[in-house]
Structure 1
Amino acid sequence: MNPTQTSRRRRQGWVLAGLTAASVLLHFLVTDQVGRTLPTTEDANESKIKRMEATYVKEVKLTAPPVGVARPAPAPQAPGASGKAKKRKVLPPAKKASQEEDKPAVVAEAASAASAADPAASAPTKVAEAPPAPASTPSSPAKGPTFEWPKATKVSFKLDGYFRGPITGTSAVEWLRQDNRYQVHMDIQVGGGLFTVQATSEGEITPDGLYPTRNEAKGRRMFIDAPVRSIVFDRDEITFANGDKAPRPPGVQDLISNIIQLAYRFTLDPSLLKPGNSIPVKVATAKQLEDVVLDIVNEETIDSPMGPLNTFHVKPRKLIDTGSPLPPIEIWFAPNLQYLPVRIYAERKDGPRDKQFTMDMQMERPPQQVGAQD
């Protein structure tokens, strides 16, 4: 074989190798994209949560803070009544004047949950018409819309931060509801979608707020899907992602449901947001229960696409250092936007430099919403 033929064969070999590599890469990309759209069999690394869907029809407007509906008080017992007392009809407690002024305040979800707890409360009753409310005066406190659990709400954020260099991206916190079932999603995309994180809380709505039943977190780095990490909330115990178990304490939340649970608590009791207050909460992370105190740092005006926005800065701190790598997540809640989170910030400045990071999510557009009656 002469040198010319040898050189030609070598070039053909390189071309064939290049075409083979390109074919393999194209096959991988197509298989990856198609595979993500096809149903798969259940296994330990697949999501057990089927995401609810919503079509958003309006933007949330600035209003006075919503007026919450406190859970109904139990029916009073007659003096000396015993466990074997004769069956008697229990009338619902009389409404106060302030409640009569706000008859629309009894929302469907609160009524449904209350009737489940006390069947007598679901009996139809005739309510007398309240007298006209007195005209408001400049000194009267502003009264906002009646609180109700919407069908869907989405707050979109722009994301800036640092991890081994500057990072940018987008994120969203989304609330979805079907009857008394809820989902809360936090979706994060960095680098045009090359890196993604999705965290979901699913559960039930009760008069005390959210009752999580499952939490899932998953992600994607380049073309590789990370395994799904799940926390399962049973009635009496919690199973963490590493298989450990612990008794379920009353009022426990996961990291995602706690965002919406706080907004609900602030709606029912705005006095919680007094700067200097501290609110203890119990949170389930991927590995363990955490005792956390939420400090109301201050009342702060921040810039937003809707103009200057009054917010309350809430910062968590752990009661006990458990060695968890999760950094505290600071949140700014806006009372005039239904107590929605409009800024979320996290940082880790200790440890090796290649593990340090900051993440700053700031609302980039007015929140979108589907109302309960839409």
Structure 2
Amino acid sequence: MKTPRPPWLLVLAVLALHLLAGHEVQRIQEGWRHDGPPPAPPRLQVDFVREMVLQAPAAVAALPPAAPLKPVPPAGDALAPAAALPASAPEPRSEPVAEAASAPADLPPTAVAQAASAPPSDEPGPEWPLSTQLTYALTGHYRGPVHGQAQVEWLRKGRDYQVHLDVAVGPSFAPFITRRMSSQGQLTPEGIAPQRYDEETRLILGEPRRASVFFLAAEVQLATGVREPAGRGAQDSASQFVQLTWLFMTGREPLQAGRVVQFPLVLPRKQYPWQYEVLGEEVLDTPMGPVASWHVRPTPATQAQVGGGDLVAEAWLAPSLQYLPVRLLIRQDTQTYIDLMLKSAPLQVAPESTNDIPRRLSR
């Protein structure tokens, strides 16, 4: 007759199995937690060596309008195989190299003609602004009046670009909210072609919240992992302002009160058929003196479609500062907004010699 095993041995065996199972579940969860989009590429390195000065913009001949943009389909028609797409970065779309499209203010006609006829290269057209850093004073309202600072960097090397918008609410030494919005991609004959957008929000207490959007050949992958068809000329939260600058600087969109500029805007959770209306010219007081600017704002129909939590931005673009924004007003709702006003003269990299541009484009 066998001696029965003590019951506590059975209890220990069951506990050991539970511990092993718990350890395995924790290991899997840790893997899920660390599975995310790969780190964004490092910031392009440039040296800002000079302050911009106000310049009277030269008249730019309007170019023929581009082909109509492909409308963004309603969310219900979007391709979404994807509630469970992997969080790895998909292959970015590949765009053609930019060519010179119109005569910038500071190039002689011969240089423009040579640049326009030059074969494609790794350099963007001469109409693109040099790498620029803009610093803003921040005021606004978030559960009460807030103050802070912000910085925008437009960086380009060859046909590669990056836009970084850094916002800090609170004292500079210990802000209680920070947000960084970064776009990167390529410069093309049709303007900015984003390939990746990253957004990070940090509170003084708590873990950072991150979101990434990837632009594919004919689709976008939202921060949720869902893929949807992408409209032609789609922009992200950061690239949209440079696209507006480029459209106005090259004359592709004339600066006229009542003019409406449209392109698809891809936000982390949703994309919209976006429309900006040119309201008119306003003179703003800046540290550089009075600066004439053009006020552009999303149309009422555009604002009406925006979902909760998505941001709506207005911009004041200054022709005397290469159409860069001297003021940005970004709203979440009527009680939550930040107002960015140019704090000092923008900084730029060393200017390129106009004599070098045709040679640079044709090498």
Structures share a fold, TM > 0.5?
Answer: yes
In the other structure, the counterpart of 1:51 is 43
Indicate the structure (1 or 2) with the bigger Cα radius of gyration. Answer: 1
In the other structure, the counterpart of 1:84 is none
Task: Report the Cα distance in structure 2 between the residues aligned to 1:244 and 1:366, rounded to whole angstroms.
Answer: 41
Match of residue 191, structure 2, among 209, 217, 224: 209
1:115 and 2:120 aligned: yes
Match of residue 320, structure 2, among 329, 336, 358: 336
User: Do the aligned partners of 2:63 and 2:251 also contact (CA within 8 Å) in 1?
Assistant: no
**How well do the aligned residues superpose, as a CA RMSD in angstroms?**
3.2
Structure 1 residues 206-215 or 312-321, which shifts more? Answer: 312-321
Deviations 1:131-185 (A, max 9, x none): xxxxxxxxxxxxxxx9543441011100001111111100011101121100001
- The CA deviation at 1:191 is 1.4
Query: SS in structure 2 opposite 1:232?
Result: strand
Match of residue 168, structure 2, among 180, 189, 209: 189
User: Do the aligned partners of 2:63 and 2:252 also contact (CA within 8 Å) in 1?
Assistant: no
Task: Report the Cα distance in structure 1 between the residues aligned to 2:117 and 2:205, rounded to whole angstroms.
Answer: 47
- The CA deviation at 1:43 is 4.3
- Pairs within 5 Å for 1:1-374: 43-44=35-36, 47-65=39-57, 102-105=109-112, 115=120, 148-192=127-171, 193-222=175-204, 224-269=206-251, 272-317=254-299, 318-319=301-302, 321-349=305-333, 356-371=335-350, 373=352
User: Do the aligned partners of 1:47 and 1:216 also contact (CA within 8 Å) in 2?
Assistant: no
User: Do the aligned partners of 1:150 and 1:369 also contact (CA within 8 Å) in 2?
Assistant: no
- The CA deviation at 1:226 is 1.5
Deviations 1:259-294 (A, max 9, x none): 001100001117621011111221111112211211
Q: Percent identity?
A: 31
Higher relative contact order (CA closer than 8 Å, sequence separation 6+): 2
Q: 1:164 to 1:101 in 2, by over 3 A?
A: closer
- The CA deviation at 1:223 is 5.0
- The CA deviation at 1:65 is 1.9
Structure 1 residues 226-235 or 330-339, which shifts more? Answer: 226-235
* Matched AA of 1:358: Y
User: Do the aligned partners of 1:177 and 1:183 also contact (CA within 8 Å) in 2?
Assistant: yes
In the other structure, the counterpart of 2:89 is none
Q: 1:349 to 1:289 in 2, by over 3 A?
A: closer
- The CA deviation at 1:365 is 0.2
* Matched AA of 2:53: K
Structure 1 residues 245-254 or 63-72, which shifts more? Answer: 63-72
User: Do the aligned partners of 1:283 and 1:292 also contact (CA within 8 Å) in 2?
Assistant: yes
Following TM superposition, where does structure 1 have runs of at least 4 consecutive aligned residues deviating by more than 6 angstroms? 67-72
Deviations 1:54-88 (A, max 9, x none): 2210011111226769999xxxxxxxxxxxxxxxx
User: Do the aligned partners of 2:62 and 2:252 also contact (CA within 8 Å) in 1?
Assistant: no
Q: TM-score, normalised by structure 2?
A: 0.68
Q: Which ranges in structure 2 are unaligned for 5 or more consecutive residues?
A: 1-32, 65-102, 354-363
Task: Report the Cα distance in structure 2 between the residues aligned to 1:274 and 1:150, rounded to whole angstroms.
Answer: 22
User: Do the aligned partners of 2:181 and 2:237 also contact (CA within 8 Å) in 1?
Assistant: no
Query: SS in structure 1 opposite 2:161?
Result: strand
User: Do the aligned partners of 1:160 and 1:361 also contact (CA within 8 Å) in 2?
Assistant: yes
